Amino acid sequence: MLLPISALADGAGAGAGAGVWQGTEQVQLRLISSTTHYDGGGQVKAGLEVKLADGWKIYWRSPGDAGLPPLLEFAGGVRHEMRFPAPTRFTLFGFETFGYSDAVIFPLRIDASSGGDLALVAAFSGLVCSDVCIPVDEMLTLRLDGGDSAPSPHAFGIAKAEALVPSIGTSNGYRITRAELRGAHLEVAIAARDDTPFIMRQGDVLVESAVQGLGFARPNFLGDVGRIAIIGDRGGENLAELVGTSAVITILHPEFMLEENVVIGRGEFAPAPNRTISGALVSILLVAFLGGLILNVMPCVLPVLSLKLTVILGQDRADLARIRRSFLLSATGIVLSFLTLGVGLLGLRQGGVAIGWGIQFQNAYFLGFMALVMLGFALMMLDVVRVPIPGLAGWQFKGGHTAWHDLASGFMATLLATPCSAPFVGTAIAFAFTAPSALMLAVFLAMALGLASPWLLVAAFPQSARLLPRGGAWVIWLRRGLALGLVATAVWLLLVLGAVVGGGRDASGGWQKWQPQLATRLADEGKIVLVDVTADWCLTCKANQLFVFESAAIKQLFEAEKVVLLRADWTRPDATILQYLTQFNRYGIPFTAVYNGGDAPLILPELLTEDTLTEAITILRRKP
């Protein structure tokens, strides 16, 4: 349970580990320390203690619709971090504001490098309000004699205040699953520790956005969704700017506190920025089509080449109508499988389940089934087995070639395409996964038509099949070679199955295991950090690793720039990795980001090259 803020401050006067009280009859302030002495350790854990008269309030770091946050500046350019415990929502003069009453301690982390005694001087500025607001400007001091440090009388109060600062560490396993703009409301949903949708019912949701001119009202909880009215918009322009931007969302609940930086998605009826809805729709559908088209040349889809070629090799090329029907059915298989996948993912999303591109390859049963199917097709191509097809399933063309074979080749193309996120695919999927239901299916249909376009092209010009050499002994050997390709695909699927069942793999070869917030912490220490989200089932990820990360030039670059390498293995389901991806509006892999200091990371393309990676690290190289 959350402790009341008023319980944090004690009534001790100046003494060991405390400065002198300063202020007015409305507010009293002083600096306090967790230790009685300064041992020269570098960082001092301290606090800004504030006592307020009855009816007076001081603001949070984001005051809300009105007010000013408290600021502290240390003399001599001493660096510090001021942390803010969970605030309370107040209504002042009709405005929604956030802050504290009675008493509060703001935890401080002060960088000190002096030897011997430590003397700190800080200028405080802020605003305290009751029926009126008054500015407060005070000079605060704190002196710690040099010597062995010991806990001061204020250590416990500072520790309690630290525990009330919302973070991932105080989330108790809960997490934000989506934040979407729907009309003039922001909808925020969270999941419980067992990944089921959490019905909040009580508490508060605070939103901090960089978009100017917007306010966020107290949430109404409808099932597992907190619905927040947005106020202060001008004609929809500010609302439109919200989509795709980052916002800090703080969840305050009696059982937990959670703070995350999330990307706001587009829900139903969300306005489009600076363009008409029809124009935005055409643009995203074109992106989705190009993404599907590019999937044809990705390593994920190459095993289906064997199925494509057998369609032609199994036909009499004199019968153009038969070739046209065959390829149309294959294209139909691609479209139907994409729509089936879209409907399935839509159902999961409606059920509150976090979704991602290629997540079926994290399922052991799916991998086992696909391996058997690939092996079965290989054996049939080698004429080792013949599968009798009774009744309706025997729907076939004249000459014995079944239509179901063509449909199956389309389904295989789709299923093997989903582990990879090719150029344009990531953009289309990010839009689809946050779009209304009908638009999500439209994006999947556009991707399907992109992937099916080569099939449709052959169907439109079936005479192109005549360009292949006439049949002969070479066809038998080609079928054997393609069958071996399918066997290799089945072996790969079984290896992935082993990784999924066995728990994946640990980072090695200079790579560290990724953990939430680790990249940010290391970057804040002045390091260049590269994060690679990968999986055993992602062939594009493997290509990036083999041809880029493992190249001699890139390894030399990593060593010269002292790049910290973090690898997140998404072979098995991992909610924290999916949550990390969705922060950047990404739902598929490969995903590569380069961090440097407190700036936002640089997100690299799905397909990496040595030049792209070298340029990114050069751009983000920390200046001396």
At 585-616, the pLDDT tens digits run: 677 888 999 988 755 688 888 888 898 899 88
The number of residues in the chain equals 624
What does the alpha-carbon distance between residue 49 and residue 107 come to, in Å, rounded to a whole number? 9
How far apart are the C-alpha atoms of 550 and 210, rounded to whole Å? 39
CA–CA gap between residue 603 and residue 584 (Å, rounded):
9
Highest mean pLDDT of the ranges 59-73, 311-325, 387-401, 434-448: 59-73
Q: In 418-532, where does DSSP find H-type helix? A: 425-433, 437-460, 473-502, 518-524
Q: What is the DSSP string of 226-291?
A: EEEEEES-STTHHHHHHTT-EEEEEEEETTEEEEEEEE-EE-TTPPPTTS-HHHHHHHHHHHHHHH
How far is the C-alpha of 47 from the C-alpha of 154, rounded, in Å? 9
| Of 11-25, 165-179, 204-218, the least confident | 11-25
Copy the structure tokens of residue 446: 């556009």
Mean pLDDT of 151-158: 93
User: Are residues 441 and 343 in contact, defined by beta-carbon separation less than 8 angstroms?
Assistant: yes
Cα 5 to Cα 88: distance, rounded to the nearest angstrom: 9
Cα separation, 140 vs 132, in Å, equals 25
Residue with more model confidence, 476 or 306: 476
Q: ∠ CA 98-103-107 to the nearest 5 degrees?
A: 80
Lowest mean pLDDT among 219-223, 451-455, 535-539, 546-550: 219-223
Pairwise CA distance, residues 208 & 262, whole Å: 10
**Share above pLDDT 90 across residues of the chain, in percent, rounded to a whole number:** 25
Q: How far apart are CA 88 and CA 366, in angstroms?
A: 48
Please report the pLDDT score of residue 388 as a whole number: 47
**For residues 381-410, average pLDDT:** 56
Are 157 and 199 spatial neighbours (Cβ–Cβ below 8 Å)?
Answer: no
Beta strands in 503-572 (DSSP E): 511-513, 528-534, 564-569
pLDDT at 12: 39
Confidence of residue 306 (pLDDT cuts 50, 70, 90): low
Model confidence at 192, in pLDDT bands (50, 70, 90)? confident
pLDDT of residue 2: 36
**Radius of gyration of the chain, Cα coordinates, nearest whole angstrom:** 30
Q: How far apart are CA 615 and CA 273, in angstroms?
A: 31
- Residue 122: CB partners within 8 Å, gap ≥ 6? 31, 72, 73, 74, 75, 139, 140, 141, 142
Residue type, 496: V
Note the pLDDT tens digit of each residue in 201-260: 788 999 998 887 788 888 877 767 888 888 765 445 567 788 888 889 999 998 899 999
Kindly give the pairing relationship between strand 246-253 and strand 256-263.
Answer: antiparallel
CA distance 208 to 594: 25
* DSSP structural state of residue 147: S
| Nearest alpha-carbon partner for 255 in 316, 173, 197 | 173
DSSP-derived letter for residue 379 is: H
Phi, psi of 188 (to 5 degrees): -120, 125
pLDDT digits (tens, 9 = 90+) for 483-504: 787 788 788 888 888 888 876 6
- Which own/partner pairs from 274-279 qualify as long-range (CB within 8 Å, at least 24 positions apart)? 274/240
Q: Does 139 have pLDDT greater than 60?
A: yes
Mean pLDDT, rounded, for 326-341: 87
Residue 194: exposed, middle, or buried by beta-carbon count in 10 A (0-12, 13-18, 19+)?
A: exposed
Mean pLDDT across the stretch 3-28? 66
CB 165, CB 85: distance < 8 Å: yes
Q: CB–CB of 421/429 below 8 Å?
A: yes
Backbone angles phi, psi at 597, to 5 degrees: 65, -155
Q: Is the distance from CB of 385 to CB of 377 less than 8 angstroms?
A: no
Q: What confidence category does residue 567 fall into, taking pLDDT thresholds of 50, 70 and 90?
A: very high
Give the DSSP H/E element, type plus range, for residue 341.
helix 320-350
Percent of the chain with pLDDT over 70: 77
The tokens describing 489, both together, are 């695909």
CB count in 10 Å sphere of residue 439: 19
- Position 117 scores a pLDDT of 84
pTM, rounded to two decimals: 0.51
Q: pLDDT tens digits for 468-483?
A: 655 556 666 777 777 7
Of 606, 559, 557, 563, nearest to 581 by C-alpha is 606
> Average pLDDT, stretch 140-153?
89
Task: State the angle between helix axes of 305-313 and 403-417 in degrees (0 to 180), rounded to the nearest 10.
Answer: 160
What's the burial of 241, exposed, middle or buried (CB within 10 Å: 0-12/13-18/19+)? buried
Q: Residue 431 above 60 pLDDT?
A: yes
Quote the CA–CA distance of 129 and 65 in Å, as a whole number.
Answer: 14
Task: For residue 242, list its beta bridge partners.
Answer: none
Q: Given this model, what pLDDT does residue 227 score?
A: 82
pLDDT 10s digits, 95-112: 778 999 999 999 999 988
> Is 112:42 a contact under the CB 8 Å cutoff?
yes
556 has pLDDT over 80: yes
Distances (CA, A) of 466 to 189, 469, 470: 56, 8, 8
Cα separation, 75 vs 551, whole angstroms: 49
Q: Which of 198, 204, 203, 224 is nearest to 216 (CA)?
A: 204
Among 35, 161, 181, 32, residue whose Cα is nearest residue 106: 161
d(CA 338, CA 415): 9
